[in-house]
Structure 1
């Protein structure tokens, strides 16, 4: 159970990125909680992709430069080639340490990455995604580029950079609907893999601005 102080800190930090109406729906997950399952957990594949990033090693801290605390620079990703029948790749980034509306917080989606592509360069610009690919939604809305962590103070969060090789492509509805992406993926995942980074709060960041006080009752 969160203490009042912990809950206040969490709400204050998340208020920088999550709409006020959603704050009441944010909670910290517990080990083994079904709602904390990521897309990779929900859509397992027989074959495995090895996923790496030049920014950090598996399980290590994500550099602040790759977070919203600093420059929000894309960390870069590489993965092994999918099976022969692969038509495209889907990339999903989720924080399953915190739950928004009962599900891992969605930071980034990129779909219809061509089967010939197995690397996204570090520092990739928002408009630098591979030709033919499209950004899907994240917690900010539709068609969003990479949105790195802004981890609240505390033990830190786990950020899953997941990659799926699929034997199909995703319809345009995926630009605005995470459900459309995952529905189109069902039964088509040939291989998958992930690299997980640990996000922490930047100790040099200024505290979040206070939320406006509610108007006094008349």
Structure 2
């Protein structure tokens, strides 16, 4: 699988409009080469660099039950029938980059599953990861950086 964004390249700068304090618009994402047996996709965006600033990985976006036949997430939108979880901003939906100290790397991870997840809107990353166990058939990621 391949995850790309028309807004930034792998390892590149995430445009400021996608930042939490700059409009908090979710970036467009395109998923390619999805395995044929995929029943649903999961997106998790987090900030591993937050460990140094807040002592833990910071969750920015969780989306599950993305239809693999419609593998494009348009800017500032949620795919039809997809469900969002709660972020570490204690909000449901996208929470853009907001590094408190220096430039951070943000990782968008896509998981192809052989099932849909039966979870309530607002579920946590931990609940989503537990539900995904034994259902992941492929995964990929896209990283971008953002500075305060």
Report the TM-score, using the length of structure 1 for normalisation: 0.63
Specify every segment of 5 or more residues in structure 1 that has no aligned partner in the other structure, as ranges. 1-48, 202-218
1:187–1:103 CA distance, 2 compared to 1 (3 A): farther
> Which residue among 67, 81, 85 is the counterpart of 2:19?
67
Specify every segment of 5 or more residues in structure 2 that has no aligned partner in the other structure, as ranges. none
Off by >4 Å, runs of 4+ in structure 1: none
Alignment root-mean-square deviation, CA: 1.8
Task: Tell me the residue number matched to 2:29.
Answer: 77
CA distance in 2, matches of 1:167, 1:86: 5
Instruction: Report matched runs for 1:1-218 at 5 Å.
Output: 49-99=1-51, 103-124=56-77, 129-141=78-90, 144-154=92-102, 156-173=103-120, 175-201=122-148
Query: Does the 8 A contact of 1:81 with 1:118 survive in 2?
Result: no
Task: Tell me the residue number matched to 1:16.
Answer: none
Task: Tell me the residue number matched to 1:46.
Answer: none
Q: Which has the higher helix share?
A: 1
* Larger-Rg structure: 1
Q: Which has the higher strand share?
A: 2
User: Relative contact order (alpha carbons < 8 A, sep ≥ 6): 1 or 2 greater?
Assistant: 2
CA distance in 2, matches of 1:145, 1:87: 22
**Structure 1 residue 192 displacement after superposition:** 0.9
Number of equivalenced pairs:
147
SS of 1:162's partner is strand
CA distance in 2, matches of 1:115, 1:173: 20
CA distance in 2, matches of 1:175, 1:152: 25
CA distance in 2, matches of 1:171, 1:101: 31
Query: Does the 8 A contact of 2:87 with 2:124 survive in 1?
Result: no
CA distance in 1, matches of 2:107, 2:55: 17
**Structure 1 residue 173 displacement after superposition:** 3.8
